[in-house]
Amino acid sequence: MNERAALRSNFPPDSMRGLTRRAEWASLGIPASELSKPKVAIVNASNDLAACYAHLDDIVPVLKEHLREAGALPFEIRTSVASDFITSVGKAGRYILPTRDLMVQDIEVVVEGAQLDAMICLSSCDKTTPAHLMAAGRLNVPTIIVPCGYQHSGLADHGGADIEDVFLNSSFHAYSGTSQSEMERMADEAILGPGVCSGLATANSMHIVAEVLGMAVAGAAPVRATSDRMWDSVRRSAYALVEAIHRDIRPRDVITGSSIRNAVVTMLAIGGSINTIKHLQAIAIEAGVEVDVWELYRSLGREIPLIASVRPNGPALIEEFEDAGGAATIQRELLPYLDADAPTVTGDTIGERAATAPTADGTVIRSVADPFATTPSIVVVKGTLAEEGAVVKRPIPDPGPYVFTGPAKIFHTREEGIEAIANGTIREGDVIVLRGVGLVGGPGMGFVSALIFAITAAGLAGKVAMVTDGQFSGLANTGIVVGEVSPEAATGGTIGLLEDDDRIRIDLAEGRVDVLVDPETLAARPPFVPVAGAEIGGYLDVYRAAVQPLACGAVLCDRKGTPLCSRRDEDAHVKGAAR
């Protein structure tokens, strides 16, 4: 082991640190002969609240066994965690995104406080993988991500429903006339095992990101939870981590500008979750990589062919995508667009991994010469209404429309917008504007999917457009929905200056979203004032004061010396936080 890789967890055996650790660990049954070994944190986000985490506790003892066989001393640690379907109730879902950064702090406190030597992270639901990768970049100790797989669904089992069907149909329930008993049957049969949502939503997208970044073993994603392939990945990850410790391979050796770009290319090629934009930007910030992920998505969007069409973007099941080769085959087909020399945590390169992957089957995964589409599923737009960017999610293939111009109809809560749709106030040609629900205004970026579902249920999809500084589900939209507008209203963004009937133009072909109002007229308007509401309090108040803009990945606090974050408007952000 070279000098740089000397174990930071080891202290002289006659020192206070050495003796007190010996005392603590002797009480746990750890003999003194084990204390000089690399000390590995098994980062576990398990709880009893959701299927996403139901199998993680079963993985820990197996992982401990393999780590011990490989010569390491494992310690399980726990973190906070969120589930979009369970912990989204309190504070109208505002805890979901902020939990990502809370997990990063949890990991730092334990791993850095105890000076552990490495981490192996059991990644499951949407926010765990980005949190694990962010913590890896921040702490820069040898780390491997273990994607822990997706759930078996009723849709895959007998053609019934999956959790996305329950999510969507329950939102349409009031409009569709579906019976309560039918909805209950759908809910009871949707999830047939542990693991994350069984589509190419944020969880599976981020599992794939971990592999493409080089932070997971080859062939790790997507994978059926508790399958033989998952257990093989667990075993290989344990031995690979110990090898990474001895070879001193660290996250900042792997998470680079090239690997971030590779991940963006891959997400564009498969139509991954739009949430990968802010998560990849946050990972880059934490790893000290100076890259504008939003601009990468924007500039590469029309260069990268779409070679997969997986639910919720298209018809293929995630099981079919895995069986067709998953992330490994996607990388093989994308090699002309990737940096093949990008390193991985296992010491090989992305190109070397891709060379051993199966070729595309031409049905579920296509070649770049015969793609499903050449128009992007993830469209980053900019313009006078979103100077720093906004995002649109489209189906594969995309039937349009691509351009929409109409008068603004402004709302400040989902409920206001839904009521306006129900009473006929919203008419064909309108642009619904939901503002004041961003990172600071929310705080935490409120989920606005219920309003989008109401638009669809009322038969207005494609007939009206929507613009918001909030966030929405990764489900593809049949109309034009522009989300995550930045700067947001609460930090001085143009969206906060809009008035009813201001004309808005959205052009997806040009990648623009503009307000067709004279700039001097806009500048003369009074600043945005948040609508009075219930006090938030607690962690969300801390989050509101500390969160950085989407251009910085919505990380907490300034990352000093990072040019990307220094571009933000300090005064506007502070004013927004104070409100």
CATH code of the domain in which 224 resides: 3.40.50.2300
141 lies in a domain? yes
Measured distance CA(481)–CA(455) in Å, rounded: 10
Task: Provide the number of structural domains found in the chain.
Answer: 2
> Is 487 found in the same domain as 442?
yes
Residues 120 and 88 in one domain: yes
Q: Is residue 438 part of a domain?
A: yes
How far apart CA 27 and CA 211 sit, in angstroms, is: 38
434 and 345 inside one domain: no
Any idea which residue has 């919505």 for tokens? 554
In the listed set 474, 495, 523, which residue is the last one of a domain according to the structure? 523
- pLDDT of res. 263: 98
385 shares a domain with 347: no
Please tell me whether residues 397 and 294 are part of one structural domain: no
> Whose structure tokens read 């990991």?
107
Provide DSSP, 453-505: HHHHHTT-BTTBEEEESSB--SS--SSEEEEEEES-GGGT-GGGG--TT-EEE
Of 3, 474, 144, 59, nearest to 278 by C-alpha is: 474
445 and 314 fall within a common domain: no
**Which of these three, 317, 340, 355, is where a domain ends?**
355
Residues 307 and 410 in one domain: no
Tell me the whole-structure pTM to 2 decimals: 0.94
Among candidate residues 259, 309, 449, 473, the one labeled active-site is 473
Residues 383, 345 within the same domain: no
Q: Are 481 and 392 in contact (CB under 8 A)?
A: yes
Residues 300 and 556 sit within 8 Å (Cβ to Cβ): no
Place of tokens 């971030």: 260
CA 108 to chain centre: 20
Burial class (CB in 10 A: 0-12, 13-18, 19+), 555: buried
Distance CA 279, CA 203 (A): 11
Residue 570 inside a domain? The answer is: no
Query: Does 351 share its domain with 394?
Result: no
- 31: preceding bond cis by omega (within 30 degrees): no
Residues sharing a CB contact under 8 Å with residue 3, sequence separation 6 or more, in sequence order: none
pLDDT of res. 449:
86
473 is catalytic: yes
Q: How far is CA 463 from the centre of its chain?
A: 29
Task: Please indicate, yes or no, if residue 511 is contained in any of the structural domains.
Answer: yes
Taking a C-beta distance cutoff of 8 angstroms, is the pair 392, 472 a contact?
A: no
Residue 168 lies in a domain: no
Buried b (16+ CB within 10 A) or exposed e, 428-464: eebbbbbbbbbbbbbbbbbbbbebbbbbbbbebbbbb
Which pLDDT does position 167 carry in this prediction?
Answer: 86
Helix, strand, coil percent content, the chain, rounded in steps of 5: 40, 15, 45
Each residue's pLDDT tens digit, 390-440: 999 988 878 888 999 999 999 999 999 999 999 999 999 999 999 999 999
CATH assignment of the domain containing 427? 3.50.30.80
Residues 100/81, Cβ–Cβ less than 8 Å: no
- Residues of the chain with pLDDT below 50 are 1-4, 561-564, 566-579
Amino acid, res. 238: A
Give per-residue pLDDT as tens, 138-162.
Answer: 999 999 999 999 999 999 999 999 9
204 and 345 within one domain: yes
**Cα dihedral 516, 488, 91, 132 sign:** positive
322 and 264, same domain (yes or no): yes
Q: Is the torsion defined by CA of 251, 257, 259, 261 positive or negative?
A: positive
Structural domain contains residue 179: no
- The residue among 320, 355, 390 that closes a domain is 355
Decide if 111 contacts 87 (C-beta within 8 A).
no
The verdict on residue 12 lying in a domain is no
DSSP 3-state of 106: helix
Q: Is residue 227 a contact partner of residue 149, using CB atoms and an 8 Å limit?
A: yes
163, part of any domain: no
Angle between helices 293-300 and 275-286 (to 10 degrees): 130
The Cα–Cα gap between 247 and 239 comes to 12
Say yes or no: 334 and 448 in one domain: no
Domain interval for residue 385: 378-523
Number of CB atoms found within 10 A of residue 388's CB:
20
pLDDT of residue 5: 55
